[in-house]
Amino acid sequence: MNLHSHVMMPAIKVIARCGYVAKGVVYLIVGSLATLAATGLGGNNVGTKEAINHLAGQPFGSVMLALLGIGLLGYAVWRAVQALLDTEHLGHGLRGLATRLGFLISGGIYAGLALYCANLLRNAVTGSTSTTDRTAELMSHPGGMLLVLAIGIGFAGVGLRQVWRAIKRSYLKNWHMIEMSEAQQRLAEAATRWGLCARGAVFLIIGGFLVVAAIQTNPSQAQGLGGALNVLARQPFGPWLLGLVALGLMAYAIYCFVNARFRDVSR
């Protein structure tokens, strides 16, 4: 490791850990509101931007919003570092490049959420654009339907990968297991497997609706995170399904917090 890497790594570690905390906070809010909706105690099925809006409306909302925005920007930077510097040693093969591209896309999404936080702080947001509106905008351009189809397939692929990671327990190689007690390991594993499966199911639903929207040339078919949770709620045994996935998203938040504390961010 050269001198430049020695100087950069402490900063990258702090950025990555703050980023995981911020991401966990967003999913904790989404999961909590969906859990309240499933149990009939209030709350709504919301997406990430709506979750940020909810946080902004709380006491000391501006302070929390600023911290969240900084954390989300940190997560975006960490994803960019993973992609561009190949910290996971994925290589230049097709699979490695696809995974690294996924890191970049993920970073772009969370950079957008960080910008959304900044705009809220400046009172510059007059209303959030819906998934349907964004899909319609994409479809209006040449090749837009193919792009929406590709994005839908990408979401479905990420969903399948999340479930596969839960089955294979591939996340274990990223944790400093020696620093965790046996009880912490059991809790982290249980939360992670549940959380990855729940997030995977939601991403599969989002991807499926985007694919349908592209095939039918109908952007109104597209659904975001909140829409996917609403779809679950409308199924037979909907409240139970919604509750299971909502608690799973809260478990995914715990997974993010575990990463913030125990993940090896030097690779």
For the segment 12-49, what is each residue's pLDDT rounded down to a tens digit? 888 889 999 999 999 999 999 889 888 877 667 777 88
Higher pLDDT, 166 or 238: 166
Reported as a pLDDT band with limits 50, 70 and 90, residue 125 is: low
CA pair distance 92, 262, nearest whole angstrom: 28
52 and 119 Cβ atoms separated by less than 8 Å:
no
Token readout for 61 is 């909302």
Instruction: Give every CB contact of residue 212 below 8 A, 6+ residues apart in sequence.
Output: 152, 218, 221
CA pair distance 250, 67, nearest whole angstrom: 20
**Once rounded to an integer, what is the mean pLDDT over residues 80-91?**
83
What local confidence, expressed as pLDDT, does residue 129 receive?
63
**Once rounded to an integer, what is the mean pLDDT over residues 114-129?**
76
Taking 3-state DSSP, the helix, strand and coil percentages for the chain, each rounded to the nearest 5, stand at 80, 0, 20
What local confidence, expressed as pLDDT, does residue 54 receive?
84
**Closest by Cα among 161, 83, 67, 73 to 110:** 73
Largest CA distance in the chain: 59
**Once rounded to an integer, what is the mean pLDDT over residues 153-167?**
92
Higher pLDDT, 252 or 43: 252
Range list of H helices, 182-237: 182-215, 225-233
Residue 147 pLDDT more than 60?
Answer: yes
What local confidence, expressed as pLDDT, does residue 257 receive?
96
What local confidence, expressed as pLDDT, does residue 25 receive?
93
Residue 134 pLDDT more than 80?
Answer: no
Q: Is the dihedral of CA 252, 257, 258, 262 positive or negative?
A: positive
**What is the H or E stretch that residue 86 is in?**
none
In eight-state DSSP terms, residue 263 is B
Reported as a pLDDT band with limits 50, 70 and 90, residue 2 is: very low
What local confidence, expressed as pLDDT, does residue 124 receive?
57
CA pair distance 156, 135, nearest whole angstrom: 16
- The 10s digit of each residue's pLDDT in 205-247 is 998 988 988 888 888 777 777 888 888 888 888 888 899 999 9
Q: Is the dihedral of CA 54, 58, 64, 66 positive or negative?
A: positive
3-class DSSP state of 169: coil
Token readout for 141 is 């351009």
CA pair distance 259, 253, nearest whole angstrom: 10
